[in-house]
Structure 1
Amino acid sequence: MLLTAGGLTPMTPTECPMSLFGDALDKTRQRVQQETLGHRGRTGDPLYGCRRLLRTALGLLKQHQLAKLETVFDAHPDHVAVEVTWDIYQRAIAAYRHDDPARGKKIFERVIAVLSSEVPRDLPELISLGRTITRRAKDILAFFDHPGTSNGPSEALNGRLEHLRGTALGFRNLTHYIARSLLEAGGFRPQLHAQMR
């Protein structure tokens, strides 16, 4: 879920913005690998060998790792597609990591603008990403308007309730299920425990 101006909007884990950017980068790398070498990545293949480096934030890469990426990007003309996708991925990371949320929002708005209008036809992964990011732009940009918000606590409670539902093997009485859910989630603990004395 993402916080929006109108409340919480459901967003599946596979729709998480950085997950989408990372998936587009992986798919581009795999497609270019297949097109240039005719097989999936193997040990010794340049793109396969740097798959983890591609997913690492630019600020965390050491000089020799940057040099390795430059070598891979220059190794074949088709690797430009991977380089372009990697650049978009790094811009998205920079937006989320920026100290100033307003500046981070501007960076991400520029990424959305690039993805929605300036992507060449031979980059289908970025075109697909652009459609998704443009459609969810309002939800994604809300992160920068409300810095520090997280749905982590809600997800933690949801996980506990899902575990309860799985171990309960069915409740016949709704009141019992609600009471057990409150006990499991820690809600109204003092009042419930007071009644059990």
Structure 2
Amino acid sequence: MLDATFATPDVTTFCRLDELGLVVVGQKLEPDRAVLACRVEEDDAARWCRRCGCEGSPRDTVTRRLAHEPLGWRPTTLLVTIRRYKCTGCGHVWRQDTSRAAEPRAKLSRTALRWALVGLVCQHLTVARLAEALAVSWDTANDAVLAEGQRVLLDDPARFDDVKVIGVDEHVWRHTRRGDKFVTVVIDLTPVRDKTGPSRLLAMVEGRSKQAFKTWLAERPKAWRDGLEVVAMDGF
């Protein structure tokens, strides 16, 4: 009997590609990068045409390259083979669904997006360092992280829940000659007061005037504003 503590080695699970609906079928390891050849998990529903309901026949395959989270800080690329089908009834052509792995036309997998966002927010890595680790351009990494941060953090409807104490102050965020140098920073201090955790950044509003904060506050629901107990502000 094998040691029940261990299981058979599984590259797909180890690289967390099962979460993306992918299966590893090959690998190419080099000193400075790794490429994992993948296929999409089989799905019987993918064989049927969504227009007329007839069964589709395999037509050909296309490949899609996705930057994945670096394994051992070695840039890792997914080379995904995607099967295309042609409907035997209406002639419609479609391909296997890869939305679990990445957004349409995205260059980073969903796992890579989360890795980059955690690296930027929690590990304080620069965008340049993230781009280097993912083997993508600075613009690609920056655009992807900003979009993921907007989706996961800023668009989270529960982000303002249970906020009772906020702190407001100005901050110099731009050190160039052009553009407004100051932003008004709004912080959730409720966890600090209640001794349940660190403070949280709620918003950064362009400008440092009273009107900037007043406008941001007016955009919040009245019930949320009425629930605030303490606003700690710079005396000036």
TM surpasses 0.5: no
Ranked by relative contact order (alpha carbons within 8 Å, sequence separation 6 or more), the top structure is 1
Calculate the TM-score normalised by the size of structure 1: 0.24
Instruction: Flag the structure with higher helix content.
Output: 1
Calculate the TM-score normalised by the size of structure 2: 0.21
Instruction: Flag the structure with higher strand content.
Output: 2
